[in-house]
Chains A and B, each alone.
Chain A
């Protein structure tokens, strides 16, 4: 007959089912006849239930987006993180903030080119250039869907000719559609994927029509991203 101390040192293994048949039988015999060890065993089992019953903890937003953001920096791969950014984390201000940068770059380049080809030019960092910035929410500077800006709803569905896309991976297309203020498609840009294979899909996407999206009562142009593979066509991702 096993002593209580020996039995208790084996209860954990007994619960895990990792005792030999002989040892297990000896423990069982003891437990059925010893009230203290029996209670101890029941409590250990209850402890297992308590731990297994703990709720799963979840990060408030998907970690994938953050990881891919970091990898973009590390490996300089294109903006895959867009796929994983949560709805609320969409960056409505990214595009507007890029515009001045591009303008400066263009004026400097223009200056450099002009310098190359003749007498010293007058370089215009003209404030007039700012007037050329399309207003936010127009086709040239669309908004991104966010908490305040709804995803455009399709009114004219089109069949996407996806049979040309083979498999996933290189057969996957990542596209940006700019939905104009009247619900038509202002522009479709292929961000990733095979350009030749994308032609038919891009044509089809251009024929889509949407319910105009409104922001603070005004119709606005909205930019949506889509990921299209041969078999599945996914709703726009933001």
Chain B
């Protein structure tokens, strides 16, 4: 049994919104095992999003913790109008935004080598092991991409990461950020152009 798994046998037979509803109902009923399950199901996406938005793994871990504590406190207010996933994403983005402001006030804005320290291992996902040269090259590319992301404004970065990295639809991005579809599209367009300009050499290399 891996660390995060709790048997909620009937729950696993459900999928999507039905599972979310059941999970939320049980959490509200004070079932700690259900809440543990909720955390285990979502912690991967929460950490990844926070780490990409903040560019710092330690901070991302703290944010992830705070996010789930807030989820726990606010579950009573979850209305089920959006999916549980977008609701949690929204809390993540808000927390990251607050941290970001806090950092800037403190003048702390370093970046660490995220992909080297926190990337999920390829082997664990059934991927091919790559040569050390290839692994280094990939890491350097990932590092360039992450730096370029951090150079965008927080608004642009969050739409782009939600859309392209997390794979949400434009509608889901709009629901997550609580902004109109049109705003998502125009921010996405500007974010893509800005990132393209920063990474044009990488992109040409990829296209060739």
Mark A residues whose CB is within 8 Å of B. Answer: 9, 11-13, 16, 18, 39-40, 42-44, 46-52, 54-68, 70-71, 74, 77, 80, 83-87, 167-169, 172, 227, 229-232, 234-235, 237
> In the assembled complex, how far is the CB of residue A206 from the closest CB belonging to chain B, in whole angstroms?
22
Most buried by B among A86, A168, A234: A168
Contact at B60–A84, with CB atoms within 8 Å? no
Contact at B39–A63, with CB atoms within 8 Å? yes
As a 0/1 sequence over residues 67 to 92 of chain B, the CB contacts with chain A under 8 angstroms (1 = contact) are: 01100100000000000000000000
Contact at A56–B6, with CB atoms within 8 Å? no
Q: Size range of the interface on B?
A: 35 or more
Could you give 28 example pairs across A and B, Cβ below 8 Å? A16-B185, A40-B196, A43-B204, A46-B206, A47-B203, A51-B165, A57-B51, A57-B115, A58-B120, A59-B64, A59-B118, A60-B118, A62-B3, A62-B4, A63-B39, A63-B61, A63-B65, A64-B36, A66-B61, A68-B39, A71-B69, A80-B36, A85-B3, A167-B10, A168-B9, A169-B31, A231-B9, A237-B3
Q: How far is the CA of A77 from the CA of B72 in the complex (A)?
A: 14
Residues of A within 8 A of B48 (CB): 56-58
Q: For the complex, would chain A's binding face be called helix, strand, loop or mixed by DSSP majority?
A: helix
Q: Which of the residues A48, A74, A234, A235 comes within 8 Å of B164, measured between beta carbons?
A: A48
Residues of A within 8 A of B142 (CB): 54-55
> In the assembled complex, how far is the CB of residue B56 from the closest CB belonging to chain A, in whole angstroms?
11
Residues of A within 8 A of B119 (CB): 55-58
Q: Which of the residues B9, B33, B60, B193 comes within 8 Å of A59, measured between beta carbons?
A: B60
Contact at B207–A46, with CB atoms within 8 Å? yes
Residues of B within 8 A of A51 (CB): 145, 160-161, 164-165
Contact at B43–A42, with CB atoms within 8 Å? no
Q: How far is the CA of A40 from the CA of B11 in the complex (A)?
A: 47
Mark B residues whose CB is within 8 Å of A. Answer: 1, 3-11, 26, 31-36, 39-40, 43-44, 46-48, 51-52, 57, 60-61, 64-65, 68-69, 72, 114-115, 118-120, 122, 141-142, 145-146, 160-161, 163-165, 167, 170, 185, 188-189, 192-193, 195-196, 199-200, 202-204, 206-207
Residues of B within 8 A of A67 (CB): 39, 65, 68-69, 72
> In the assembled complex, how far is the CB of residue B29 from the closest CB belonging to chain A, in whole angstroms?
9
Contact at A18–B170, with CB atoms within 8 Å? yes
Contact at B189–A54, with CB atoms within 8 Å? no
Nearest to A170 among chain B residues (CB) is B31
Q: How far is the CA of A234 from the CA of B5 in the complex (A)?
A: 10
Q: How far is the CA of A68 from the CA of B72 in the complex (A)?
A: 10
Q: How far is the CA of A59 from the CA of B160 in the complex (A)?
A: 22
Q: How far is the CA of A83 from the CA of B120 in the complex (A)?
A: 22
> In the assembled complex, how far is the CB of residue B103 from the closest CB belonging to chain A, in whole angstroms?
19
Contact at B192–A63, with CB atoms within 8 Å? no
Q: How far is the CA of A230 from the CA of B8 in the complex (A)?
A: 10
Residues of B within 8 A of A52 (CB): 164-165, 167
Residues of B within 8 A of A42 (CB): 207
The 3 closest A-B pairs by CB, nearest first: A12-B189, A51-B164, A55-B119
Residues of B within 8 A of A231 (CB): 7, 9
Contact at B61–A59, with CB atoms within 8 Å? yes
Q: How far is the CA of A134 from the CA of B35 in the complex (A)?
A: 37
Residues of B within 8 A of A50 (CB): 141, 145, 199, 202-203, 206
Residues of B within 8 A of A232 (CB): 7, 9
Given contacts A59-B43, A84-B36, contact A64 B203 (CB under 8 A): no
Given contacts A47-B195, A54-B145, A80-B36, contact A16 B7 (CB under 8 A): no
